């Protein structure tokens, strides 16, 4: 993200400097009778190209942000499902433990049939 931000700032700075150069050339053109049109056209072409690159960078950044958001959402869904399954597992283990205890207690309460037969 920092790298993308740095590139965006550099491109914006290039655009600003290009516009500054263009204005300076126009100012010089007003002072001097020299023909600066070819230079201005080159700078304008550069400005258009830089603007299109900046727009593409912004679009790529937006796509990356959306991809990160989708990944984060998926991660949180998995974490939520995992927590739900862990809670369910804990509850099932408690029920199993209670069931085992009741079965063991039931065996203790039933008198031993073999012991009664031998009496």
Give CA–CA dist 61/16, Å, rounded.
21
State the greatest distance between any 2 C-alpha atoms of the chain, in Å, as a whole number.
133
- Under the banding of pLDDT at 50, 70 and 90, the label for residue 76 is very high
What lies within 8 Å, CB to CB, of 46 at 6+ separation is 18
Q: Residue 41: in which H helix or E strand, if any?
A: helix 37-109
- Tokens coding 60: 């790529």
Q: What is the pTM of this model?
A: 0.44
Chain centroid offset of residue 65 CA: 6
Name the average pLDDT for the chain: 83
- Tokens coding 28: 């010089």
pLDDT at residue 117 in the model: 56
Tens-place pLDDT, residues 2-39: 888 899 999 999 999 999 998 888 887 776 555 556 66
pLDDT at residue 26 in the model: 82
Give CA–CA dist 67/13, Å, rounded.
28
Tens-place pLDDT, residues 45-58: 888 888 888 888 88
Q: Coil, strand, or helix at residue 33? A: coil
């Amino acid at each position: 993200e920092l790298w993308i931000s740095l590139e965006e700032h550099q491109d914006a700075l290039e655009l600003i400097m290009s516009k500054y150069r263009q204005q300076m050339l126009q100012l010089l053109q007003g002072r001097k009778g020299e023909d600066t049109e070819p230079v201005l056209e080159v700078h304008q072409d550069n400005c258009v190209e830089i603007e299109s690159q900046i727009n593409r960078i912004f679009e790529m950044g937006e796509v990356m942000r959306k991809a990160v958001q989708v990944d984060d959402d998926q991660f949180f869904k998995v974490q939520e499902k995992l927590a739900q399954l862990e809670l369910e597992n804990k509850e099932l283990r408690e029920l199993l433990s209670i069931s085992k205890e009741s079965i063991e207690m039931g065996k203790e309460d039933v008198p031993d049939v073999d012991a009664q037969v031998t009496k």
